[in-house]
Amino acid sequence: MASTSGQKPIGVALLGGGRIGSVHLKSLSSSRNYELLYTVDVDEARACEMASSVQGCKGIGSVDVALADDRVEAIVVCTPTATHKPIILKACEAKKHVFCEKPVSMQWQAIVECFDAAEKAGIKLYCGYQRRADNSFRKLKETVAAGSVGTVHVIKSTSRDHPTPSLHFLRISGGFYHDCASHDIDLCCWVAGEAPATVFALGSCFNPEIAELDDVDTALIALKFPSGVLATIDISRKAVYGYDQRLEVHGDAGMVQTENRPTTSCVISTAAGIAADNPYFSFPQRYEQAYATEIEHFYDYLRNDATPYCSRVDCIRVAQIADAAEHSARAGAPVDFAQFISQ
């Protein structure tokens, strides 16, 4: 079947059949713009299980077979963060475009290497910070850009995870600031339209198993931008009431907020009180629309040269700010961002 634009669908291989790989499997296999040719996982049985739901798709244990196949134009990387760079460099050699789950790497220098290699190879590398594709956040961003709330004074991002990821994932996650806070850091910079001048973070750990990993599960991050805009990020690995994701921008002419969405809009009012449903269970449910949209946006980027929602500069900057936040929290002092990244 032809794609939505009448062009050839993109032959694609999906790498990694874990939490986010399962989400992208749904988007890729239901889109007219892609032909999912391979699912790849080091756990080959998992790869085969994923492929079994898609006609013409083969489950394999190594990406090499997919990279050697001329029908494959692009790969979608959903493997653990530490594996991204070697996979991207292999894809560059094989001249395959890459959609990579966030973050491209925990080290910003490695992100630079990946984008440099992609540019040299003439392939496109896109990183999936899916919140930029979420309809509510996009409307908030457009509202701010249109001046409807006036001059922005404060951006407030609240992000509390549900359920807490497994210890197995947390061990290889890259740490709280790069894995979790990177989404909120990206959102704040996207809305502010600039990089911060100052980064100040405080971190705590309430979960003893996470503390053993020398990581934190709760943080407050403050950013001050050169324009004077202040941003606060209130972030936690644990919310017992569901996946809590809220964003607010306050300006001198008003305020714009995106609230949590409950699983139903039913509100029950009785003498005992008012009861509503909890927010969505977790990220696959809350960002279902955003994940599908970003996969279609990747098609548009490859076929129609659309401006990527998230650029090379955005990806590098997020990693640098995550580094600065971690450094600030450990040192207990604010970080001058320009000075920090020039060291």
Near ligand NAD by CB under 6 A: residue from 15, 54, 127, 149: 15
- Residue 126: name the closest of 118, 134, 138 by CA: 118
Query: Per-residue b/e over 295-325, b at no fewer than 16 CB within 10 Å?
Result: bbbbbbbbbeeeebbbebebbbbbbbbbbbb
Tell the smallest beta-carbon distance from residue 45 to ligand NAD (Å): 10
List the interface residues with ligand NAD, window 175-204 (CB under 6 A). 179
Tell the smallest beta-carbon distance from residue 85 to ligand NAD (Å): 11
Tell the smallest beta-carbon distance from residue 168 to ligand NAD (Å): 7
Cβ-contact 338, 197 below 8 angstroms? yes
Q: Residue 157 interacts with ligand NAD (CB under 6 A)?
A: no
Q: Residue 50 interacts with ligand NAD (CB under 6 A)?
A: no
Amino acid at residue number 197? A
In sequence order, which residues have a C-beta less than 8 Å from that of residue 297 and are 6 or more positions away? 133, 306, 308, 309
Q: Could you give the angle at which helices 312-331 and 182-192 cross, rounded to 10 degrees?
A: 120
Nearer to ligand NAD, 311 or 339 (CB): 311
Q: Residue 323 interacts with ligand NAD (CB under 6 A)?
A: no
Near ligand NAD by CB under 6 A: residue from 26, 48, 80, 148: 80
Q: Residue 21 interacts with ligand NAD (CB under 6 A)?
A: yes
Q: Residue 59 interacts with ligand NAD (CB under 6 A)?
A: no
List the interface residues with ligand NAD, window 270-289 (CB under 6 A). 283
User: CA distances (Å), 247 to each of 102, 244, 323, in order?
Assistant: 20, 10, 22
Cβ-contact 158, 246 below 8 angstroms? yes
Q: How many residues bind ligand NAD (CB under 6 A)?
A: 24
Q: Residue 42 interacts with ligand NAD (CB under 6 A)?
A: yes
The vertex-140 CA angle with 188 and 326, nearest 5°, equals 15
Nearer to ligand NAD, 16 or 196 (CB): 16
3-state helix, strand, coil in the chain (%, to 5): 40, 25, 35
Span from 72-80, 197-205, 258-266, 315-323 in contact with ligand NAD (CB under 6 A) = 72-80
Nearer to ligand NAD, 251 or 317 (CB): 317
Binding to ligand NAD by CB under 6 A, coded x per residue (else -) over 118-137, reads ----------x-x-------
Q: Cα–Cα distance between 334 and 219 in angstroms, integer?
A: 14
DSSP-assigned beta bridge partners for residue 157: 233, 247
Span from 75-83, 114-122, 194-202, 308-316 in contact with ligand NAD (CB under 6 A) = 75-83
Q: Cα–Cα distance between 186 and 135 in angstroms, integer?
A: 16
Q: Residue numbers of the site for ligand NAD (CB under 6 A)?
A: 15-21, 40-43, 46, 78-81, 83, 101-102, 128, 130, 169, 179, 283
